[in-house]
Amino acid sequence: MKTYPIRRLALYLTILITGLCAIEAVVLTVIPMPVFFKIVLILGLLVAVYFLSVSFLTRYINDKIEPIYKVIREIPLQGKAVKNPQQPSNEIADVHKEVEQWAKNQTQEITRLKDLERYRKEFVGNVSHELKTPIFNIQGYILTLLEGGLDDPKINMLYLKRTEKSIDRMISIVEDLESITKLESGVLRLRVESFDFVKLVDDVIEMEQMMANERKIQLLFERPEKPVKVRADKKRIMEVMTNLVANGIKYGRQKGFVKVTFYDLKDHLMVEVMDNGIGIDKSDLPRIFERFYRVDKSRSREQGGTGLGLSIVKHIIEAHKQTINVKSEVDEGTTFTFTLEKSK
């Protein structure tokens, strides 16, 4: 016959209590003693029964709960240890709470992994989509050259130049992807140094001037008289500034402006890159730092954009333990602000 543990437990307790009652009855009826002693004896036996039952039940419940604790402890959670792992509580309510917390953490973990998986699929899809365009273009140019274009000096130069442009585009996508992967996986170590931020902005403006002239956009810089020293990875911050200024030009309006301003915040420097361009709709604003996110895909692609720039910018700023914010109004303009640590 199969014996269920709870029935066995009830049986043991019944035997124990019956045995104690029998001993008590014999003692009370057979042995003559004063009433006071009899009361003390009854109370003593009751207390003994109470403690025996408590210890019996506690041990029994602990034995049953221990394996559950073991399971919980053995399943690692992302940085969330089950509290008090060495000392299992013997209170059922505590165990219930802990198991509940554990189940909640597990659910969160599963949701996180599902989100990551969705993100990964989306990412791979986006990468192949972005690379397809230049690859197909190159295929087309080569076919044209093979089908006779090679012999015509005008056509061959034109198509070779176009091929070169598509290859440059692929290289820039791959480089951006490499940067993002390194920044996300933490492989990329920042090379923090002290440098003059005014000089860096001068260099960025000089580099972007051609593009700004083409679009008739003025590059303005409220240039401080003295050097402004910051502590950061110069190369990476150059990338941040280039991306922000280039965006201001790309999404700016003809005869508009892009303006760089500094604000002194005691230990930090706040940098503002403001334009009076097309602006970004409120519904798009929370997503612009996502990889590959572009408000107007055709406009961005036409400008050679992949939608990776701001994602890289955010990663770089966060790797410096600083923050970046954006404010924008459609048809009025966009302002990005970020902070940097000042050098003492």
Ligand X SMILES: Nc1ncnc2c1ncn2[C@@H]1O[C@H](COP(=O)(O)OP(=O)(O)OP(=O)(O)O)[C@@H](O)[C@H]1O
What are the residues binding ligand X (CB under 6 A)?
243, 247-248, 250-251, 275, 277-280, 288, 293-296, 300, 305-311, 334
Residue 307: which of Mg ion, ligand X, none does it interact with, CB under 5 to 8 A by kind? Answer: ligand X
Cβ proximity to ligand X, 144 vs 328, nearer residue: 328
Between CA 64 and CA 186 the distance in angstroms is 44
Residue nearer to ligand X on the CB measure, 260 or 310: 310
Contact 138, 165 (CB under 8 A): no
Least distance to Mg ion, CB of residue 325, Å? 17
Tell the smallest beta-carbon distance from residue 313 to ligand X (Å). 7
**248 binding Mg ion? (CB under 5 A):** no
* Residues between 159 and 198 that touch Mg ion (CB under 5 A): none
Contact between 306 and Mg ion per CB under 5 A: no
**Among 193, 195, 217, 194, which residue's Cα sits nearest to residue 205?**
217
Instruction: Please check whether residue 179 is in contact with residue 190, taking contact to mean a CB–CB distance below 8 angstroms.
Output: no
Distance of CA 155 to the CA centre of its chain: 49
Which lies closer to Mg ion via its Cβ, residue 166 or residue 247? 247
Task: Tell how far CA 332 is from the center of its chain.
Answer: 31
196 binds, among ligand X, Mg ion, none (CB under 5 to 8 A by kind): none
**DSSP per-residue codes, 3-67:** PPHHHHHHHHHHHHHHHHHHHHHHHHHHS---HHHHHHHHHHHHHHHHHHHHHHHHHHHHHHHHH
Min separation Cβ 300 and ligand X, Å: 3
Residue 278 near which of Mg ion, ligand X, none (CB within 5-8 Å, type-dependent): ligand X
Which is closer to ligand X, CB of 72 or CB of 245?
245
Strand, coil or helix: 295: coil
Asked if 309 interacts with Mg ion (CB under 5 A), we say yes
Q: What is the rounded distance in angstroms from the CA atom of residue 107 to the CA atom of residue 105?
A: 5
- Nearer to Mg ion by C-beta: 198 or 238? 238
The correct pick among 163, 179, 247, 339 for binding Mg ion (CB under 5 A) is: 247
CB of 93 to Mg ion, least distance (A): 55
Cβ contact 280:289 at 8 Å:
no
For Mg ion, which is the closer residue by CB, 64 or 297?
297
What would the two tokens of residue 117 be?
């998986």
Q: Residue 315: which of ligand X, Mg ion, none does it interact with, CB under 5 to 8 A by kind?
A: none
Residue 268 has φ and ψ, to the nearest 5°, of -125, 165
Positions in the binding site for Mg ion (CB under 5 A): 247, 309
